[in-house]
Amino acid sequence: MNRAMDGCFKTIHIPRMCDASHVLAAAFRHHGIPSEVLPETTPESVALGQELCGGRECLPCFATVGDFIHHARSRKCDRHHAALLMLGSSGPCRLGQYAVLARRLLDEHRLEEVDILSPSSIDSYKSFGPGSGRVRWLCWQGVVATDLLQQLVLGHRPYEAIAGSTDAIHAEGLRQITTAVESGGGARLVRVMGGIASRFESLAIDRTQARPRIGIVGEIYVRQNAFANQGLARQVEQAGGEVALATNMEWMYYTNLDMAQRSHRTGNWVAALQARILDLGQRFAEHRITRPVRHLLRFRRESPALELQRAAAPYLTPVVGCDTEALLTLGKAVTFAREGFSGILNVMPFSCMPGVIAAGIAPRIRADFDNIPWLDVSYDSLGGTNLRTRLEPFLHQARQFQLRTRPRPPEPLRAAETPPAGEAPAAPPAHADGEGRPGAARPGSNKAVLERKLAGRGNVDAALLDALERYRYFRDNAQKQRLETDIKKLAPYELI
């Protein structure tokens, strides 16, 4: 057990992954455990992490280990009263070995007095030590609030009339959420969310220019950390898109599901029931905290983990003991595609196994969703991804996909078809859409030609005439459809 949770009150240092890091520290402080968030990641700390590690680790490992050891060596850190929070996971992801590697590196560099707190996803992060259930529950409330704040920022910032106004609301909102969590959350946090909703309601925005919506999925650290992904969300916005990120809530719900399914497979019915009760409690808290801002969200609730698992099932079947983040990546990508998004960005650390799995399966998802644009972006400690160069053609494809798939408005009446003043307009013919589809015959149209050919054959049933017109339409457009299919097949090769 970690001495930080056993009465010695060591200060827990939390890597600065995203906004959720601040509420985790606030939850610890509320329960009398000193905690602070590490300084922001810098190129120097990543270089230090890469130097200390063996070189086969991923970018999140370099960043978190480098950040902490860089801080531990500074005069600001009291290493005799310091502990590092390093979350772990089950399955084949290297995240499960981060704490082991960090412990070895700390010992090698004469930092043996520093403790490591490493709760694991195998029990849905309940192993925080004494009182961990209360700590985890408060952490959950803060994670929900910061995820909602992030969704509001990403949904409004591309359309803000005054540059920087959304970021100002974000900074103030994060401060208030952190304060509310440190005070115990609950009703205080709900009131804070109501105030955040009011500020977003009064924000001046301009949505006259429709933007393609881009869903960002992939490895959680790279997806959430702006330093690691080189400010990907802002770069997409600058290129003309609107971003939606897979949330931190998604991972927490998945750990509940994984715990329940593992317990069910091993016959541990008590643990399976506990996981189910925990999941229901989280759902209730999410509903309560979301209520004040629900009308401002595109997604009114977080997709249940079981829904994501079922969405990914046609492409990836979970294997006992080998569940990976690829399942969530694929499930969320399918969800984004079903919600009408115009592109998917799959981000991953270099050599990340779940990310590579998702990238390999992506063509099958694209084929099932009208060849939706998809771009895989791999990040390493060197920072060279040619991101801007790759985003420009990707956003172009997303805009073309948006135009091709969105519903078209009805064609306005032509001048010759406008009824005289005082007369009611005639009812539009069935199926008319102005492109030669079955409807009222226009001079020179396929239907008019058919009417002339059949004029000498007596009365012709209108249904037969419509059927003949449909046949002619689809026959004449078959070549066009085949050409469009060939163009779709060539679309991936437009990316650099």
- Among the residue ranges 71-85, 98-112, 465-479, the one predicted with the least confidence is 465-479
CB contact at 8 A, 91 and 324: yes
Give the pLDDT confidence score for residue 3 in this predicted structure: 44
Look up residue 367 and give its amino acid.
Answer: A
- What rounded mean pLDDT belongs to the chain? 80
Q: How far apart are CA 60 and CA 17, in angstroms?
A: 9
Give the pLDDT confidence score for residue 353 in this predicted structure: 83
SS3 298: coil
Measured N-to-C along each axis, helices 20-30 and 132-156 cross at an angle, to the nearest 10 degrees, of 150
Q: How far apart are CA 205 and CA 196, in angstroms?
A: 16
Give me the mean pLDDT over the 183-200 stretch. 95
Tokens representing 359 are 């990238």
Strands 115-117 and 213-218: unpaired
List the one residue out of 120, 119, 51 whose CA is nearest residue 90.
Answer: 120
> 347: left (phi > 0), else alpha (psi -120 to 50), else beta?
beta
CA–CA distances in Å: residue 175 to residues 168, 193, 452, 483: 11, 12, 75, 54
CA–CA distances in Å: residue 216 to residues 13, 245, 332: 28, 5, 9
Q: Provide the whole-model pTM.
A: 0.78
Q: What pLDDT digit, counting tens, does each position of 19-62 carry?
A: 999 999 999 999 888 999 998 988 898 888 888 887 777 888 88
Q: What pLDDT digit, counting tens, does each position of 115-165 carry?
A: 888 887 777 777 665 566 888 899 999 999 999 999 999 999 999 999 999
- How many Cβ atoms from other residues are within 10 Å of residue 327's Cβ? 25
SS3 14: strand
Give the pLDDT confidence score for residue 108 in this predicted structure: 86
Give me the mean pLDDT over the 82-93 stretch. 76
